[in-house]
Amino acid sequence: MDADTLKKLQAPLKEKYRHDPAAAVITLKAQGRIGEHISCKVDTGRMLVEAGLHPATGGNGLLACSGDLLLEALVACAGVTLSAVATAIGIPVKDALVKAEGELDFRGTLGVSKEVPVGFRAIRLQFIIDSEATPEQLDTLIRLTERYCVVYQTLRGGTEMGCGIVRGPI
């Protein structure tokens, strides 16, 4: 896709959202059903992903780890955002590889230590870009990718969350 095509696709949406901000608020949804052997089957809309315990918490490594899925969502979002930004501002990118790695201390997850937080304590995102762009253009590309990547911004800034329960048959 080129910049003109992308702009033509997005222009009516941007105009709509400027005039009707409520139209820009979309609720994305996901659901999963618990399965055998401490697992959860998540329907992605494209395929079924079965997540389970990470080997560091007693899993056998055959099922997807939810921490890996979180990093994969970050990589997917950052990659799409990088591509869209490069297209929109005319920075030629021949190829790009997006890598994410996250550091966890499983003592928190397993309740071994109450002093150790549950969750990632650090996430690092790396872009390997094959491009003839100047260093300044690449800096702009990364800055704008960080700014517009939904998953990156959600993880970086946190978001309001809550849990609820509904009793009944499924």
103 within some domain: yes
Q: Is 170 within a domain? A: no
E-strand ranges in 70-142 read 95-104, 120-130
Owning domain of residue 62: 3-157
Contact 63, 39 (CB under 8 A): yes
Give the span between the Cα atoms of 114 and 120, in whole angstroms: 15
Judge whether residue 38 has pLDDT over 90: no
Residue 11 lies in a domain: yes
Q: Which residues contact 117 (CB under 8 A, 6 or more apart)?
A: 105, 108
Q: How confident is the model at residue 47 (pLDDT cuts 50, 70, 90)?
A: confident
Q: Is residue 45 part of a domain?
A: yes
**Is residue 164 domain-resident?**
no
pLDDT tens digits along 53-72: 999 999 999 999 999 999 99
pLDDT at 35 over 90: no
Does 167 fall in a domain?
A: no
Q: Is residue 162 assigned to a domain?
A: no
Output the six-digit token pair for 109: 């997850």
* Domains of the chain: total: 1
The CATH number given to whatever domain includes residue 52 is: 3.30.300.20
